[in-house]
Amino acid sequence: MTVTRSARLAGAALCVAVAAGCAQPTAGRPVADSASAEQATSDAVRRGLDAFQSHFVNLGDEHARVYNYLNFGDVKITTEHESYKVGDPPAVLLKRRFAKDGSWSETLTPPSSETDYVKLDDDHKFLAPTPWVSVPSLWAGTGFDNCFLLTAWVACHLDKAIGQTKLDAPDEQPNEARATEDGFEVTTGALLGVMLDEGFISIPEEKRDGVTDPMKKTVVPVVLKFDKDMGFTGFEIRDTVSDGDAPQLELQLEYEVIGKATKDDVPDAPDAGETTAITDKAAVDQFWEKFNDRTPEN
């Protein structure tokens, strides 16, 4: 793979930042200038954030995974998504399960389709007499946007949260960069309250009062990961936020670029005999409400 000039510069800045931050005075060797080291680190972080944003603005054919774990009092949430995006206009397949050993649902959107096809997982089979349900596409009439893809949606809202935190709590936001065996890592952060407002850290509405103001004002570290060519490979958010007697909030959110998606990864639309069509708006809304319920009642 050809390394671009911007990738070489980003790598150089990261290496300089890491080396300068670890320099120790030795005989005959000048101590790294701290201002230069800080500037190199800031440049590296900025290039990392630019590469992160560029990845999703120019999202290509991608197979990605998002893992979400949250533990807050009696609220315990685990969700895993995998997405496949291929072509332009794209064919999209989104898979979801609510437990590590749970069954997968699938949501299929063929290229330029006005219809989404949903294959029901075991916990939601009662929603239709057939394995699949068809509903009006979530992006019918508006066209596809990369941030509509649920895995990418998480990254798009994380980007907003990082930007807002830079405005609201710049002195508390980490600003670090380091070289790794696989490439580079950039550590920044986002306020818990902003992440909750953006919706990608989700606590049921009836439990939100348990999150105190000091917890919301906590900046949670965000680690962005890149390969040696400064290509985005994923991110990780992992922290435990606490405040006195309030329940601890444990959270883990990971995005992983698994590889390039191909046409073979996305199935054809199911046959009509396997599909129950839902078109009435009220019925469609009710379907999505039940489908997204982790413990649906028949």
163 by Cβ neighbours in 10 Å (0-12 / 13-18 / 19+) ranks as middle
More confidently predicted of 106 and 33? 106
What's the mean pLDDT when you consider all of the chain?
90
pLDDT tens digits along 69-97: 999 999 999 999 999 999 999 999 999 99
- Comparing CA positions, the residue from 64, 86, 88, 68 lying closest to residue 78 is 68
Q: How far apart are CA 218 and CA 197, in angstroms?
A: 14
More confidently predicted of 61 and 15? 61
Q: What is the mean pLDDT of the segment spanning 93-121?
A: 96
Q: Residue 4: its pLDDT value, please?
A: 39
Q: How far apart are CA 124 and CA 137, in angstroms?
A: 19
Q: How far apart are CA 110 and CA 91, in angstroms?
A: 5
Beta bridge partner(s), residue 80:
67, 97
pLDDT band at 22 (very low <50, low <70, confident <90, very high): very low
pLDDT tens digits along 154-170: 999 999 999 999 999 99
Q: What is the mean pLDDT of the segment spanning 120-149?
A: 93
Beta bridge partner(s), residue 241:
249
Sign of CA dihedral 52, 234, 236, 93: positive
Structure pTM? 0.87
**192, 215 Cβ separation under 8 angstroms:** yes
pLDDT tens digits along 30-83: 555 778 888 888 999 999 999 999 999 999 999 999 999 999 999 999 999 999
Q: How far apart are CA 158 and CA 201, in angstroms?
A: 10
pLDDT tens digits along 238-280: 999 999 989 999 999 999 999 999 999 999 999 999 999 999 9
